[in-house]
Structure 1
Amino acid sequence: MAFAEDPAPATAIGVDALWVMLGAILVILMQGGFILLETGSTRMKNAGHVAGKTIFTFGLCSLIFWAVGYGVAFGGGGNPILGLDSFFYDPSLAIESMYGSSVFFLFQLAFAGVSLSIAWGGFAERAKLSVYLIFAILFSAIVYPVIAHWIWNADGWLALDGAQDFAGSTVVHLTGAMAALAATILLKPRIGKFNKDGSANEILGHNQVYTALSVLLLWVGWFGFNAGSTVAVGDGFFGYVAFNTQLGAAGGAVAALLISWIIMGKADISTMLNGALAGLVAITASCAYVAPWAAIVIGLIAGILVFASTKLFEKLKIDDPIYALSVHGAAGIWGTLANGFFATPELATKVNIGQAGLFYGGGLHQLGVQALSILACGAFAFVVSFVLLFVIKAVNGLRVTEEEEIIGLDLSEHGAYGYPEQMRKDSSITV
């Protein structure tokens, strides 16, 4: 996200506000993509729970981000760690400046909601509804906003160092993935995922069409995510950002499908879908900094990484039903690091953050800054999330009972079925 000055004419500010509002709408619609992604990737006995939980926690995130999170992330005061004002945010009626406007708040809220939805991947099919409620409050008030301040607030210590994360490979995606990792470690694997000898059983999601539709919906929303982060219409630079976004996503999808075909002997659709998302995640940090050929390379490597990291996490007995750690964690790390190699001097100057990468004569400086931001933000998100969830576990418990997990969260948490055909007999709800 660029730290540019707003154009002076009121008409220009109005046009920019309309553009950012469109971006906010597209990013908010990504919540529908996450509903379909998590629903399709899990079993039908949890479908209604997934849909309802996602809407509920986004609403909760909206209130907490308004009251606390936005001030921590984007408040002033010159503090490099967190903002010191703008709590219970009250914007003016007229938009005199993009930064600090109601439209900018909505755009940033949409990003916070995406990061929270990513975190839910580590909770899937086994966490209590009360845990979602409590952690949504804490994540929206503390975990995400602090990291957003470090990189996206002009006073943030990583922003002052020149960390390049244009639309959130680290701020949004790695943060959510590290929270998911903390959750899946404390919750432990789902019943039946791993055998006593350590081998894994495949627990298939119940609807691959849902997951394909989710990827398409998220893909479209990503143009609001990345191109909207220009926060200005200006000279049309948003078009270049969108162009690179498309190339990165395409590279990820193609690479993931081909690598699964070569290694597994079949063109795996699930891997391909994850590859498309991984390409989008990876290009999110670098879409404004790199040449088109580099965007393709970044996407291709992300597609390979998502396949390899999925196998690695399974060997480590980490149960990640929605592949949050691979898609948003591994690809988020790679996408952030990629700027240290591929950022061009012209684009770094245009965005006004950091400098050129290693392959463009910038030496190791930008690569070091990118690595520092990954380590600092990843460690903060994981440690704070782990501590918060550990306390919640001690006080409230994290996981539903074995009986409730087997029955499914639709019935055990909500007393209703996600699909009417499940009402035929109770034995069908374990499908």
Structure 2
Amino acid sequence: MGLNALWVMLAAILVLLMQGGFILLESGSTRMKNAGHVAGKTIFTLGLASLVYWAVGYGLAFGGEASDALNKFIGLGNFFFTPDIASVDNGLPNSVFFVFQLAFAAVSLSIAWGGFAERAKLSSYLIFTLIFVSVIYPVVAHWIWGGGWLAADGAQDFAGSTVVHLTGAIGALAATILLKPRIGRFNKDGSANVILGHNQVYTALSVLLLWVGWFGFNAGSTIAIGDGFFGFVAFNTQLGAAAGAVAAMLISWLVNGKADITAMLNGALAGLVAITASCAFVDPWAAVVIGLVAGVLVFFSAKFFEKIKVDDPIFALSVHGAAGIWGTLANGLFATEELSAKVGVGQAGLFQGGGWGQLWVQFESVAVCGAFAFAASFIVLWVVKKAIGFRVTEEQEIIGLDLSEHGSYGYPEQMKKAGTNA
């Protein structure tokens, strides 16, 4: 147990460090007048999420006894969690398991912030963190990972294409619908204006940090190192990410006549998101296929959301939503009988001789978890909008959230030269 605990603790640290990747991704993809706000609210909400998950979220996700009838739908126990050195969860000291799961919850929350970008009040971040980490995310996590009803059905989501990524993306979707587009994003005739991020090097560095952190995400979810299976999971993870990056770059080059760097970066992340559900269930060739499809899908998904006038500054809906759905469904096509038996979840997919059963379970998990996350997120944010206001004023948005919400700029010297629209 000692080496396994060390491995998972190191994996948890890698996943927590992904928050640095999200800071660089969101700040680089938006304007410099909001960069300090992005960094500050990410650290603030990580701290708040940690306390909320300790008090309530972990208990709803993983509390309760498997024999309890209510446990099919929600966990009840381990509130204000106190680790017991002698206690073991999933073969690990329960303190290590808690930190690992907390890191996952924090990633899902950071994904949701993509829908808030450049126009939401800081108070709305606070309220949404409280509800998302205490109720919305834990319910989905319990259904699939905590012994809930989807787990009983055999839903395959090894490291969270649905639990982490789709849930966060759906929160972002609810937010961006209620907030409406940023000032200047779309013209009255419906045509779109490109609002460029201020630092593409930041976004590239963010993808590299997230890519490395993903090995903690996926390989760490094996919870053990003795049989070397974590290496197989890491192998598939790398193939999925690589295929996604290459596919997105090539399709952008073919369609636009230019090799779009942003599209490539989104493709790498989409490949990672898609392979997250299936990295332990599929053969390497299938990991490549999953990544290739994710890279193409994220490119056209981004164009689709722009066409219907949904403002998605960080591409959360395409990278984590569309690719999360695809990655989850892909298990229903490519999961092998041998690997499903090794993980102990579900059965072979359609293309591996398993019939339609697993594909249906995967579709069921996407539909139900997505619907719950959207309904809950939309209701919470609608109440926020009506009660205290969700969006900053037009003047505050033009000035930038650095100054309007925090009283200082992330780039004070540059902002003096550039003016408030930078």
TM-score by length of 1: 0.96
Matched, 1:116 2:109: yes
% same residue:
76
**d(CA) in 2 for partners of 1:146, 1:354:** 20
**d(CA) in 2 for partners of 1:286, 1:392:** 36
Residues 275 and 306 in structure 1, CA contact (< 8 A), matched pair in contact too: yes
Residues 14 and 95 in structure 1, CA contact (< 8 A), matched pair in contact too: no
Structure 2: gaps of 5 or more residues: none
What pairs with 1:4-403 in structure 2 (closer than 5 Å)?
A: 13-77=1-65, 78=68, 79-94=71-86, 96-97=88-89, 98=91, 101-154=94-147, 156-403=148-395
1:76 alignment partner AA: G
**d(CA) in 2 for partners of 1:363, 1:167:** 24
Deviations 1:391-411 (A, max 9, x none): 111111100000000000000
Deviations 1:369-420 (A, max 9, x none): 0000000000000110000100111111100000000000000000001113
Q: 1:332 to 1:184 in 2, by over 3 A?
A: same
1:8 alignment partner in structure 2: none
Residues 226 and 245 in structure 1, CA contact (< 8 A), matched pair in contact too: yes
Deviations 1:164-209 (A, max 9, x none): 0000000000000000000000000000000001010000000000
Name the SS for the 1:429 alignment partner: coil
Task: Quote the offset at 1:49 in angstroms.
Answer: 0.2
Task: Quote the offset at 1:94 in angstroms.
Answer: 4.2
**d(CA) in 2 for partners of 1:56, 1:428:** 27
2:419 alignment partner AA: S
Deviations 1:324-355 (A, max 9, x none): 00000000000000000000000000000000
Q: 1:255 to 1:66 in 2, by over 3 A?
A: same
Residues 189 and 318 in structure 1, CA contact (< 8 A), matched pair in contact too: yes
Name the SS for the 1:91 alignment partner: coil
Matched, 1:428 2:413: no
Task: Quote the offset at 1:153 in angstroms.
Answer: 1.0
1:369 alignment partner AA: V
Deviations 1:221-274 (A, max 9, x none): 000000000011120100000000000000000000000000000000000000
2:42 alignment partner AA: T
Residues 144 and 155 in structure 2, CA contact (< 8 A), matched pair in contact too: yes
2:265 alignment partner AA: L
- CA RMSD after TM alignment: 1.0
1:9 alignment partner in structure 2: none
Deviations 1:80-115 (A, max 9, x none): 111011110011134645356100000000000000
Task: Quote the offset at 1:60 in angstroms.
Answer: 0.3
Structure 1: gaps of 5 or more residues: 1-12
Residues 192 and 201 in structure 1, CA contact (< 8 A), matched pair in contact too: yes
Name the SS for the 1:320 alignment partner: coil
**d(CA) in 2 for partners of 1:150, 1:397:** 32
**d(CA) in 2 for partners of 1:84, 1:419:** 46
Task: Quote the offset at 1:291 in angstroms.
Answer: 0.2
TM-score by length of 2: 0.98
Name the SS for the 2:321 alignment partner: helix
Deviations 1:7-42 (A, max 9, x none): xxxxxx111100100110000000000000000000
The runs of 4+ residues in structure 1 deviating greater than 3 Å are: 94-100
Name the SS for the 1:106 alignment partner: helix
